Structure 1
Amino acid sequence: MKNAIILSLILFYSILNSTAQTIDSIEVKSNTENIDSIINRIQKINSSVNIIKDTKRLIPIKELGNTKIISLSIDTLTTISSFQKTLNKYSRISCITINTDSISVNYETGDLQLKNNDILILSIHDISFENLQQFSNLFSKLEVYPNIILSIFGSLEKLESLPIFKCASTILFSNTNTEDTQKVAAQIIFGGINCSEGRPTTDKESKNETDNTSNETIRFQYTVPEMAGIDSKTLNETIDSVAQLGLDNNAFPGCQILIAKDRKVIYHKCFGFHTYAKLQPVLSDDIYDLASVTKITGPLPALMRFVDEGKIDLDEKLSVYWKDFERSNKAGLLFRDVLAHQAQLTPWIPFWSSTVDEQKNFKKHIFSYTKTKKYSVEVAPKMYLNKNYRKKIYKSIKKSDLLDKKEYRYSGLAYFIFPEMIKNISDKEYPNYLKQEFYKPLGAYTIDFNAHNNYPASRIIPTENDDYFRNTLLHGYVDDEGCAMMGGISGNAGLFATANDLAKLMQMYLQMGEYGGKRYISEETMKEFTKIQFPDNNNRRGLGFDKPILGNDTLSIEKCYPAYSASTESFGHSGFTGTFTWMDPKNNLLYIFLSNRVHPTRASRQIYEKNIRISIHQGIYDAIQVFNEKYKQKPLSKL
């Protein structure tokens, strides 16, 4: 009954003017397509690509962190193909397209300098043998590379005679060059789709090679909701309506939603624009300020790794790892209490306010509008903080009062010291440690600090028009003032990411520490961090992770957090800028919502008042329920 009321309220709002942008993936053709035709169509598309050989077991590609991957496409197109677009969902791929009608037949291989462990993905798109002969010089140069994955779309006729065909370690083939088959081939290469059946062979030798090939599914598959037991019609209507409700009420100028179930990304849609000027629509590869989602994306994976390695004891005093607390009121704080937000720490310190006088003018010797050796901490464009001010921040945290009672009170203070602590334990700079140990191996290259240093403004979603501290529009610079005063690199905030890359790290959490055939964190540690630590103290929190309100499944949609259908095993975090991510191991469900609700100012609270993020979250569970009711006699194991 509760679900029906919610759906009727949500669907009341019109979606006719929605500016939704759908991700480039295989989709349900229409709301009238039934489950059988959807599944049969997707299975037919998936089986249209076959592995002919894989002598070096390159498929699926497992090592991403230290492997350079180049995609070289020979095509009639001049733009990036669906094949290359899909490859880029999994990792950072250098994509080169050679048009068959251009002078590129004499392409020099200078950009293709590959080491022994690097991989060249060569794709040939519906090109006849005769036309390919003009590339014989290029192919002869490519034959020196030891790891070539050759993907052929079109016809195999006579291609077997090409030297490149024989020297390629791996060959995939589809007799069609459609966008769907290209997407499938790319997913097979990275382990999103298993290609273990129906493989054609060219000779006895390749047959033996194929029979011994282990083609695992280890990463995201990009497909339709029905393939994960979710009703497309309900999901789209619900989410589209709630997102439009947010746009109509100026809860945000735009947003982006990604949903994965059973390691299948079944929904990734963008709504609205970067700003209310409506000049630039939100796109799927846009980069967002994650705000406090940084807490579980930045310091937390490192801390969990240190627990696995015995470098941190959760029941030890925090001062053992942060010596500055030894002679302070924080000497006895336990690490577990700090991560569970019941260590009596002050919730927040407005560090920036100590830099201005009573007239709101900056005090002397704190900021400079020119970067120098002394003023080297960039907090905004042409605004640099004295490098020694970091010590003042640490001192303020050390001297801050403790709360009277040991109870749940959210505080981000410890997250300001975690980066330096991680550096001391790992002997590596905090951002470098995260990139080397987590982000790059996951293929999540856009997760990074200070987005303005790495990406054009056109790809970054702007946040606040800060008129009280930095006096500028924050565009690629972190929204959080305290993090900005740490040079944009902190543990409480600071990370930027695309939804797709954030999803890889969150999926690793959902799979209890494993993703892409690699274990990052032990299952034991993941379970410890994601369970409620102090339920008897009315504290719902895990270690770093947020958890559902105690008794959440009994609450209404207006009072629950997160969705009332989320299991007690679920966990996640929200962010001040309008971000939210939640994982549910019981339902194998991942939900990511990204927005810039603080644009142009943080005064807007419509995202909370209209309950946008939670209503969408509940809508996912409703769509699962609708699927089960409609197709309860159909075994999901076949999906």
Structure 2
Amino acid sequence: MRKILVLLTIILTFNFNIAQNTNNPLLADNEAKQEQWVDSVYNSMSVDEKIGQLFMVRAFSNQGLKHENIISQLIMNQHIGGIIYSTGGPVAQAKLNNRLQELSKTPLLIGMDAEWGLSMRLDSTFAFPWNMTLGAIKDNKIVEQVGYHIGEHCKRIGVHFNFAPVVDINTNPLNPIIGNRSFGEDKDNVTEKALAFMKGMQDAGVLANAKHFPGHGDTETDSHKTLPTISFDEKRIDSVELYPYRELIKHGLSSVMVAHLNVPALESRSGYPSSISEHIVTDILKDSLGFKGLIYTDALEMKGVSEFSEPGDIDLAAFLAGNDVLLISEDVPKAVEKIKEAYENEVITEERLAYSVKKILMAKYKVDLHDFKPIETENLVEDLNRISDQLLYETAIENAITVVKNKNSILPIRKLESKQVAYVKLGDDDSSPFFKELQKYTKVHEVSAENLDELITKLKSYNTVVVGFHRSNDHPWKDYKFTDTELVWLYEIARNNTVILDVFVKPYALIDIDTFENIEGLVVSYQNSKTAQEKSAQIIFGSVPAKGVLPVSIQDVYKFGDGITYNMLSNLSYSIPERVGMDSNRLSKIDSVAQYAVDKEMTPGIQLLVARKGKVIYNKNFGRHTYGENAEPVKFNDIYDVASLTKILATLPLLMEMEEKGVVSLDTKLSEILPDYANSNKANVTLKEMLSHYAKLKPWIPFYFATLDSTKHPSIKYYRKAPTEDFNIKVANELYLRKDYVDSMQVIIKDSELLNRLRYRYSDLPYYILKKYIEGHYNKSLSELVQDHFYKSLGANYTTYNPSSKFSNKNIVPSEDDKYYRYQIVQGYVHDMGAAMQGGVGGHAGVFSNANDVAKIMQMYLQKGYYGGKRYFKTETLDKFNTCYYCDNDNRRGIGFDKPQLGDSGPTCGCISMTSFGHSGFTGTYAWADPEEEIVYVFLANRTFPSSDTNTLLRENIRTEIQRLIYESIID
């Protein structure tokens, strides 16, 4: 009786006219209309209907008609006020929700646990980062955007209350239920993140819920299975655990969930849950903190409470304690009966009932339930998986990944020419996105073994070892620890090698590592999602800056807030089109053009890449190596004969380097660099003239014609099937050219006639000439030079001359079924006959590559000679070579580079800036860079297979039509 009198005294002190309270977070913009609606609905209700509003029951959209009938009965008979949805699918839930709302006289208030988005409960919906991941982000605007996007998703599926954010300060690494759900261990960081999240979500029109009051951060037991104890004193709880609630309440927090906890410092009755503690709910949350929003219990079905043996007793106690919404009751009919009995016995007054029910109705009005509209199911799944969500997730992950240790500045990995990188996987989840992304930057081998000794032996060949620790990303409660065996392996790998350890789990996994002494680089990536793996690899190689900080401490070694930052190295990263102001839907039109080219047999296959602003935002493969269903599908690591792209990928960069060093100038004459030319008709031809194709040189000399016999097969005079001392230039399989014929080719070029008039005429001959000069100057082959000067340091490990010595034919796309010279399928050997007759190493042709590597070189050009932290050329050097010196003479060419057309027809779509540059290749290849729009476009094909006779690819403008679509995709 005494308890009832005390409660009534408290109740009488409430301000029942809550609509007039300006601190009420449930007030709508139009207070007068809200109050009118609330009063009208409340006054029309029976006592049973009023009591029913207090209950929010759990519903599943994947448990069939029997379950739906149970919920329907609760709506019709107990008049429940709300539903908290659990597992299922979005469309099924939306349809179920529409049916249940139609049954309810008063619209239902819909809640959901969507802490990291609807994916927490619903399949096929977008997953946002976990709180621990967000806690590592310094820019709280990103966290606010995450809250906003989650709010948009909730609103789209008809959810009005999201039981988020979790504001528990996680000071116990062994906490089994909070962990990744917490923003971290620091009260200020948790509060800042929670405020940002709350603001974003409530700005989207969905009401927030801070949980679990008064603080669930330091427990070692699961509240779903027992009653955990918080053992701190009242002073500590007030200064730490309650701190986020104070700040969120000041800024308009809509609701609070009271935890299922035993808090002896705040509730004297032993084992008495906080969710039904009058002191905790009323004295502290309502009176001391001044909270006037909705107060939810945690699930009343929770275990560990023995005092309430009869169904409905705990519900009544929770309401008497001051809660407004009774969440997930074990027996709603019994609970309604108990509360009604208390009402009829005046234990609960009409004023007390009105207080909570009117707050619930205020919330319903605020989320527009006074004007309820069914959920539209069309495009629902698409709306819950937007490109903008993916973009935000990517941004958040980039900002969260934390470099914790960076001994000797091992990160980001530089000087690729000196690195031999191995990857070792630990953990039991997928690591393929991480490994594949690492391989985009340099040659990385995955090394594994049955036993540790074997692994250590294999790793001796490498000077850098990346160890990735991968555990399931399905949900935050999955196992995150190293096994004892994995720890032993990690210690031994680190003792014997230079190691970068990257953990794709929460930072607490590091607690079990006894020493970090031998680990040079330490990265925490927080989650094992595909995006987290890809972005972490990009951070390791410096294409994305390191920004994150630890949200929790690790032993006494690394503290909250630790995090080493560094800037980008200006190498390519990988993202989505919207990240760089392009539209994915428009860009996807490229697919149909590329597929059309393949379907119409213009080329068996295609590699296609588009980058903008330093980010690869389109990279796809089409078709196969050859025609036929059993032919090898095109893969990202397949390499193509790039034909004349060799000119700008091999010869030109070496010449630019020599020009910059003063070895030659653009005005240097042939007679000055090659004395043999002093008495030739080409003596006074300058480098500028011949590389602009403005020197009256013949376009092409078919050198191989002269080496064929009367049957038009390779003559025995010039060829052998096996190598000998005099026949050692390998042209193709079982075909070796006489070694002195290379010199004969140079003589033929020197003595060739000039064209009869000066005009633009594309010619391969300058690159034969320059190859001779460059190799003579360095006393090394062009193949060696371009590797040592450029490809190795660029990480262009798929770019090479004569690929058969380095790659399997499974990864080399054949270029032609040659029936006029070599009489075999040309695969792994250069297609161009003149380059083949130089042992596969021509200045004009011979390079093989994939789209990703070609893009690296083009991006280096686009960045005026800078890439991956290294300057290859001065800006003025690039500008000098990317200049059209003879445009006034109807010659569009730069120095080595092709340029956009001057008239109606030419090498581009005609929609591109005049500062752009690139080249095309006979085999169907194309590479183009545009400094003004910061676009790199690479198209690799083998349109010459099986025969080079027809060029439908060129005739139908496939490459330039794709280029046009790229530019039409720009939206910024």
| 2:920 matches 1:574 | yes
1:443 CA drift (Å): 0.3
Check conservation: 2:431, 2:470, Cα contact below 8 A: no
Q: Identify the residue that residue 433 of structure 1 maps to in structure 2.
A: 785
- What is the CA deviation profile of residues 119-145 of structure 1, one whole-angstrom value per residue up to 9, with x for unaligned ones? 221111129687532244433333335
Q: Which amino acid aligns with 2:471?
A: D
1:327 CA drift (Å): 1.7
Q: Identify the residue that residue 590 of structure 1 maps to in structure 2.
A: 936
Matches within 5 A, 1:90-129: 90-97=441-448, 103-104=450-451, 107-113=454-460, 118-126=463-471
Q: Which amino acid aligns with 1:386?
A: R
Q: Identify the residue that residue 41 of structure 1 maps to in structure 2.
A: 393
Check conservation: 2:402, 2:564, Cα contact below 8 A: no
Q: Identify the residue that residue 475 of structure 1 maps to in structure 2.
A: 827
CA distance in structure 2 between the aligned counterparts of 1:408 and 1:389, rounded to whole angstroms: 30
| 2:541 matches 1:183 | no
1:601 CA drift (Å): 0.3
Q: Identify the residue that residue 167 of structure 1 maps to in structure 2.
A: 518
Q: Identify the residue that residue 11 of structure 1 maps to in structure 2.
A: none
Q: Identify the residue that residue 612 of structure 1 maps to in structure 2.
A: 958
Q: CA, structure 1 residues 335+591, in 2 after alignment: closer, same or farther (shift >3 Å)?
A: same
Check conservation: 1:139, 1:164, Cα contact below 8 A: no
Q: Secondary structure at the match of 1:582?
A: strand
Segment drifting more, 240-249 vs 581-590: 240-249
Q: Identify the residue that residue 265 of structure 1 maps to in structure 2.
A: 616
Check conservation: 1:530, 1:542, Cα contact below 8 A: yes
Q: Identify the residue that residue 300 of structure 2 maps to in structure 1.
A: none
Q: CA, structure 1 residues 281+129, in 2 after alignment: closer, same or farther (shift >3 Å)?
A: closer
Check conservation: 2:550, 2:561, Cα contact below 8 A: no
Check conservation: 2:553, 2:560, Cα contact below 8 A: no
Q: CA, structure 1 residues 94+607, in 2 after alignment: closer, same or farther (shift >3 Å)?
A: same
Q: Identify the residue that residue 337 of structure 1 maps to in structure 2.
A: 689
1:440 CA drift (Å): 0.2
Check conservation: 1:39, 1:226, Cα contact below 8 A: yes
Q: Secondary structure at the match of 1:591?
A: strand
Segment drifting more, 603-612 vs 435-444: 603-612
Q: Identify the residue that residue 221 of structure 2 maps to in structure 1.
A: none
Q: Which amino acid aligns with 2:884?
A: I
Matches within 5 A, 1:219-618: 219-236=571-588, 238-279=589-630, 280-551=632-903, 555=904, 559-618=905-964
Check conservation: 1:462, 1:475, Cα contact below 8 A: yes
1:321 CA drift (Å): 1.3
Check conservation: 1:60, 1:215, Cα contact below 8 A: no
1:432 CA drift (Å): 1.1
List runs of 5+ in structure 1 lacking aligned partners. 1-25, 629-639
Aligned-pair RMSD on alpha carbons? 2.3
Q: Please, which of 392, 410, 423 is the counterpart of residue 58 of structure 1?
A: 410
Q: Identify the residue that residue 20 of structure 1 maps to in structure 2.
A: none
CA distance in structure 2 between the aligned counterparts of 1:159 and 1:342, rounded to whole angstroms: 65
1:81 CA drift (Å): 2.2
Q: Which amino acid aligns with 2:524?
A: F
Segment drifting more, 468-477 vs 569-578: 468-477
CA distance in structure 1 between the aligned counterparts of 2:576 and 2:383, rounded to whole angstroms: 12
| 2:493 matches 1:148 | no
CA distance in structure 2 between the aligned counterparts of 1:270 and 1:212, rounded to whole angstroms: 37
Q: CA, structure 1 residues 174+416, in 2 after alignment: closer, same or farther (shift >3 Å)?
A: same
1:52 CA drift (Å): 2.0
Q: Secondary structure at the match of 1:84?
A: helix
1:301 CA drift (Å): 0.4
CA distance in structure 1 between the aligned counterparts of 2:869 and 2:389, rounded to whole angstroms: 32
Q: Identify the residue that residue 66 of structure 2 maps to in structure 1.
A: none
Q: TM-score, normalised by structure 1?
A: 0.87
Q: Secondary structure at the match of 1:113?
A: helix
Q: Which amino acid aligns with 2:708?
A: V
CA distance in structure 1 between the aligned counterparts of 2:915 and 2:563, rounded to whole angstroms: 40
Q: CA, structure 1 residues 261+129, in 2 after alignment: closer, same or farther (shift >3 Å)?
A: closer
1:213 CA drift (Å): 3.5
- What is the CA deviation profile of residues 382-429 of structure 1, one whole-angstrom value per residue up to 9, with x for unaligned ones? 011000111110111011001122221111112113223112222333
Q: Identify the residue that residue 138 of structure 1 maps to in structure 2.
A: 489
1:439 CA drift (Å): 0.0
CA distance in structure 1 between the aligned counterparts of 2:864 and 2:875, rounded to whole angstroms: 5
Q: CA, structure 1 residues 40+383, in 2 after alignment: closer, same or farther (shift >3 Å)?
A: same
Q: CA, structure 1 residues 32+74, in 2 after alignment: closer, same or farther (shift >3 Å)?
A: closer
Check conservation: 1:38, 1:226, Cα contact below 8 A: no
Segment drifting more, 128-137 vs 309-318: 128-137
Segment drifting more, 145-154 vs 298-307: 145-154
Check conservation: 2:680, 2:751, Cα contact below 8 A: yes
Q: Secondary structure at the match of 1:434?
A: helix
Q: Which amino acid aligns with 1:260?
A: A
Q: CA, structure 1 residues 80+351, in 2 after alignment: closer, same or farther (shift >3 Å)?
A: farther
Q: TM-score, normalised by structure 2?
A: 0.58
Q: Which amino acid aligns with 2:409?
A: R
CA distance in structure 1 between the aligned counterparts of 2:517 and 2:561, rounded to whole angstroms: 13
Q: Secondary structure at the match of 2:696?
A: coil
Q: Secondary structure at the match of 2:447?
A: strand
Segment drifting more, 208-217 vs 381-390: 208-217
- What is the CA deviation profile of residues 432-475 of structure 1, one whole-angstrom value per residue up to 9, with x for unaligned ones? 11111100000001111112221111111111111011111101
- Identity among equivalent pairs (%): 35
Matches within 5 A, 1:1-16: none
Greater RCO (CA < 8 Å, at least 6 residues apart): 1
